[in-house]
Copies of this chain bind each other. A is one copy, B any other.
Amino acid sequence: MTRTGTIYGVGLGPGAPDLMSVRADRIVRGARHIAYFHRSGRVGHARTIVEGLLHPEVSSIAMTYPVTTEIAVDTTDYNQALATFYDHTAAQLIALSQAGEDVVVLCEGDPLFYGSFMHLHVRVAPRARVEIVPGITGMSGCWTVIGEPVTWGDDVLTVIPGTLSESEIVRRLRDTDAAVIMKLGRNLPKVRAALSAAGLSDRAFYVERGTMPGETVMKLGDKADDMAPYFSMIIIHGHGRRPT
């Protein structure tokens, strides 16, 4: 009987290759099959991070997102296109594992924290052996390159997707000690307005490509334009209880 393979969901961390875990590094270097998400026409962060670590004979499954901006999100068409895509890629991974092959899914950041891997995970977990390796989140990478403690003592941290409505972001910002705003992209003007309404513009840091070449770290107020990649972030530091 053929040995069944394992599907690994491996967190690669915030971007610098040496910020992946020792375990992830070992699994990636030993992989004979890798799979990674990317947008059409782009290599993808995950694949970029492991450049130079891969076995010369590794085989790759490039999982190309079927939709980008052509279809409006929140429509049935969008959800259906994505669901079909995840079904199809999950079936590929399951077939590999049933043939006795291990396959390593490369995941930016931490696989179970706002990651595309989760959509595969719910599909493959009932039918294959899955092993997940956590990673340093993108937000940890970002607050580290700013170089200031993000949460102290009894601080509450709220992680807010920039995709929420402006009023919802304002409400959340007014009711937290520390905040991370993810998924900026074209949401930046709205997020700026929310920060201003919450009186937090002066405390907001903007980080782009944190820990990677081309990294940008600045006070949001110093950022002249509203161009922001989807994976850029805003950090608001807490000032919680501390011995003085």
Q: Which residues of A contact B (CB under 8 A)?
A: 11, 13-14, 16-23, 25-26, 74, 78-83, 86, 110-115, 118-119, 121-122, 125, 130, 132-137, 140-141, 143-144, 147-161, 163-164, 172, 175-176, 211, 241-244
Known pairs A79-B243, A112-B144, A153-B163 / 10 extra A-B pairs, C-beta < 8 Å: A11-B140, A20-B22, A82-B243, A112-B143, A135-B136, A154-B164, A156-B158, A156-B164, A158-B158, A159-B159
Cβ-defined contact, A147 with B134, below 8 A: no
Cβ-defined contact, B147 with A132, below 8 A: yes
Residue from A74, A125, A150, A164 having most chain B Cβ neighbours under 10 A: A150
In the bound complex, residues from chain B placing their C-beta under 8 Å from that of A74 are 241
In the bound complex, residues from chain B placing their C-beta under 8 Å from that of A172 are 156
Cβ-defined contact, A83 with B243, below 8 A: yes
In the bound complex, residues from chain B placing their C-beta under 8 Å from that of A161 are 153-156
In the bound complex, residues from chain B placing their C-beta under 8 Å from that of A147 are 125, 130, 132
In the bound complex, residues from chain B placing their C-beta under 8 Å from that of A132 are 144, 147
In the bound complex, residues from chain B placing their C-beta under 8 Å from that of A153 are 114, 161, 163
In the bound complex, residues from chain B placing their C-beta under 8 Å from that of A148 are 112
* A-B interface, 7 closest residue pairs, ranked by CB to CB distance from nearest: A118-B149, A82-B243, A83-B243, A157-B159, A18-B23, A134-B144, A79-B243
In the bound complex, residues from chain B placing their C-beta under 8 Å from that of A135 are 136, 140
Copies in the complex: 2
Least distance between A176 CB and chain B CB atoms (Å)? 8
CB-contact partner of A18 in B22, B113, B155, B164, under 8 A? B22
In the bound complex, residues from chain B placing their C-beta under 8 Å from that of A114 are 151-153, 155
Least distance between A140 CB and chain B CB atoms (Å)? 4
17 contacts between A and B (CB under 8 A): A17-B22, A18-B22, A19-B22, A19-B133, A74-B241, A79-B244, A112-B140, A112-B144, A112-B150, A118-B149, A130-B147, A132-B144, A134-B143, A134-B211, A135-B140, A151-B159, A175-B175
In the bound complex, residues from chain B placing their C-beta under 8 Å from that of A125 are 147
In the bound complex, residues from chain B placing their C-beta under 8 Å from that of A20 are 21-22
CB nearest to A149 among chain B residues: B118
Report the separation of the CA atoms of residues A129 and B112 in the bound assembly, to the nearest whole angstrom.
34
